[in-house]
Amino acid sequence: MFRTPMRQMATAARQSLKIGLIPADGIGKEVIPAAKAVLEALGSDIPKPEFVPLLAGWEVFTRGGNALPHETVDALKECDAALFGAVSSPTRRVTGYSSPIVQLRKELDLYANVRPVASVAANPGGKPDVDLVVVRENTECLYVKQEQITPTENGREARAIRLITERASSRIGKMAFDIALGRPRKQVTIIHKSNVLSVTDGLFRETVRAVPALPEINGAYDNVKIEEQIVDSAVYRLFREPEIYDVMVAPNLYGDILSDAAAALVGSLGLVPSVNAGDSFVMGEPVHGSAPDIEGKGIANPLAAIRSAALMLRFQGHTVGADRIDRAVEQVIREGEVLTPDLGGTSKTQEVLDAVLKKL
């Protein structure tokens, strides 16, 4: 996959690992316990885990009017890392509601969303030769949620502010280059739309391209090849020839769309992990949503959450434990005997978890 980014936190020497668990909504309550069970099964390959159950999500909002209680944020600041399940944010505007995952990224300065997407032999419906990482800026773009609606003589007019800063673009660029250094191809593709959005996307593109020349980098990225791609062309080429991509770095909205699209190339969103990472904290998060249509049926795919736990460990320097999880998951997928319905199988969540635990 990739080595631990060189600027990330190092916790491998600690005797214990305090992990906040936020199942949130829907199948998050089914897949996060599976990830917890896998972490517990690693034994001495990671510091002894201590789990802290925490609340957030739409259901919490409907009960108490706050989707992200202050107690959750305060508790996370005392943790080493966290796992977040999924959130059922409404598609309509609800007064007082704000997505807890978006808010958490800001509260904890988790400026990078890192989503590796790789095919495994025997992936049902998977496309061969997919091995890429989407590195998504996590704190700005249109997701600053500065919107307003104004009545006009021609009807209502809605506007949204899009924020791109040099600081955020530079540090997400460094994250992308760090990750590329640990991969065989050592290539970064900058995703943008600066042919139309010449100011905002132009700043993102120029800033990321300038990262290797920064004085503090001291030539560390000289061996990393820089490519760039217009976002709509990038989506097309992602489906036609995914093998051309290694590390893709993008503003928030583009990265969100691209990583979900890339998941279709490997069979299911239920396979794709991610982490929200800052310089001192990391939170694993499966890419899939809350899937209310299958909630409570016991058929949710736990592999993305389990892989997110491995990615969380990798960012903290616990590579032995992370490697064990990744190998176990890949063996289960490759054998193809225990698969949930999203992958064409009939297995239950618990059966998939049991298969991973057996491989461990």
Is residue 97 among the annotated active site residues? no
**Burial degree of 153 (CB within 10 A; 0-12, 13-18, 19+):** exposed
> Which residue, chain included where needed, has tokens 């704190």?
139
Catalytic residue among 131, 256, 326, 342: 256
Catalytic residue among 45, 109, 260, 279: 260
Reference 244, options 227, 222, 269, 267; nearest CA is 227
Full DSSP string of 129-143: T-EEEEEEE-S-BGG
Is residue 260 among the annotated active site residues? yes
Is residue 193 among the annotated active site residues? yes
Three-state DSSP class for 31?
Answer: helix
Is residue 131 among the annotated active site residues? no
Integer CA distances (angstroms), 228 to 130, 163, 194, 238, 256, in order:
18, 21, 11, 13, 17
Is residue 143 among the annotated active site residues? yes
Catalytic residue among 25, 36, 193, 342: 193
Catalytic residue among 143, 221, 245, 254: 143
> E strands within 25-144?
48-53, 81-86, 112-118, 131-137
Neighbours of 64 (CB within 10 A): 10
Catalytic residue among 77, 129, 145, 232: 232
Q: Give catalytic residue positions.
A: 143, 193, 232, 256, 260
